[in-house]
């Protein structure tokens, strides 16, 4: 349990930004550089996972030996955070060797994609059409 708790606490610390001069009130951009704020309505700013945080998540997830523990770590890291389709693909490439593992990652990120127009890129990562169809169904917008 300690092996899971400490990485989760580390991820929570990632959400607190501190500037080089030690100012705790510094803010981190809520969207990545490649995504402009104008693409989203002004009344809603997504908390998109930063690339630095993604690197930390991948590093910590690789250190976890059991897939259930890895899933718990990813759930905690992605809670109330949006990720881009490119970041989802990166998670799938780095942490999943098989389509079933890739589907688990898709289940974790569904509803939290910052750029759902690029879902086709995620679907291209699946080897089998049946898994691609399952992923398409999982990622389909709910009405």
User: How many alpha carbons lie under 13 Å from residue 106 in its C-beta half-sphere?
Assistant: 25
Tokens found for residue 15: 């959400």
pLDDT at 86: 97
Q: Quick check: is 128 in a domain? A: yes
- Taking 90 as the threshold, does the pLDDT of residue 105 lie above it? yes
- Given a contact cutoff of 8 angstroms between Cβ atoms, the answer to whether 7 and 14 are in contact is no
Which range of residues forms the domain containing residue 101?
A: 2-16+44-139
Q: Quick check: is 33 in a domain? A: no
Q: Is 3 in a helix, a strand, or coil?
A: helix
Domains in the chain, number: 1
pLDDT at 131: 96
Q: Quick check: is 34 in a domain? A: no
pLDDT at 16: 46
Q: Quick check: is 74 in a domain? A: yes
- Given a contact cutoff of 8 angstroms between Cβ atoms, the answer to whether 105 and 74 are in contact is yes
Q: Quick one: average pLDDT of 134-141?
A: 93
Mean per-residue pLDDT of the chain? 80
Q: Quick check: is 23 in a domain? A: no
């Amino acid at each position: 349990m300690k092996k899971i708790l400490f990485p989760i606490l580390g991820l929570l610390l990632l959400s607190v930004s501190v500037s080089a001069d030690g100012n705790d009130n510094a803010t981190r951009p809520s969207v990545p550089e490649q995504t402009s704020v104008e693409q989203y309505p002004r009344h809603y700013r997504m908390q998109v996972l930063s690339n630095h945080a993604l690197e930390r998540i991948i590093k910590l997830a690789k250190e976890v030996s059991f897939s259930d523990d890895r899933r718990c770590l990813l759930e905690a890291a992605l809670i109330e955070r949006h990720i881009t389709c490119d970041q989802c693909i990166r998670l799938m490439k780095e942490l999943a060797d098989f389509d079933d593992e890739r589907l688990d990652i898709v289940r974790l990120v569904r509803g939290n994609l910052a750029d759902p127009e690029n879902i086709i890129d995620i679907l291209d990562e699946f080897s089998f059409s049946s898994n691609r169809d399952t992923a398409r169904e999982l990622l389909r917008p709910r009405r």
